[in-house]
Amino acid sequence: MILFELYLAFLKIGLFSIGGGYVMLPLIQKEIIENHGWLTLPEFVDILAVAEMTPGPVAINSATFIGFRTGGFLGAVLATAGVVTPSLVLMVIAASLLARFYENNWVKAAFSGLRPAVVALIIGAAVFVGRASLLDPTSIAIGTVVFIILLKTRLHPIVVLLLSAAAGIIIYL
């Protein structure tokens, strides 16, 4: 039963998420933590951290980790399949239609409305993760320093993540 619920939950997330993985985070949080109670907020944030560090889209990685955590190997497969099914179907349809109608004023107007909505959803996800992660002055300081480093330097994000992990080990152990 949980396997079917995992597939349906992530199918719903995939259906109603336009703009990529970060846009899906509020929906994942609502579905997984609030609606089903499969994870706690700290567990969800930890899974997001792992999903960020592993190659691939954050939504797919999150679905795989959450599916595995709640339903084992088959849960991982079904959660991942659920989150990608809508995108796969929509991309096949969109690719065939968009090429013909991209210059249409209605299509241009729709995309003009979607772009700022996607930005707002990403900012909302950042605020959600920030509230769950920036819990004390030290974590706020690490987050602030990382944000400044990413804005002011060309340091690779992987290097920044490794330095942050090292700082966490030094500070919190």
Q: In this predicted structure, what is the pLDDT of residue 21?
A: 65
81 burial type by CB count under 10 A (0-12 exposed, 13-18 middle, 19+ buried): middle
Q: In this predicted structure, what is the pLDDT of residue 154?
A: 87
- The type of residue at 125 is A
Q: In this predicted structure, what is the pLDDT of residue 92?
A: 87
pTM exceeding 0.75:
no
Q: In this predicted structure, what is the pLDDT of residue 18?
A: 65
Q: In this predicted structure, what is the pLDDT of residue 3?
A: 92
**pLDDT < 50: residue spans in the chain:** none
In angstroms, rounded to a whole number, what is the distance separating the alpha carbons of residues 60 and 83? 7
Q: In this predicted structure, what is the pLDDT of residue 20?
A: 66
Q: In this predicted structure, what is the pLDDT of residue 51?
A: 81
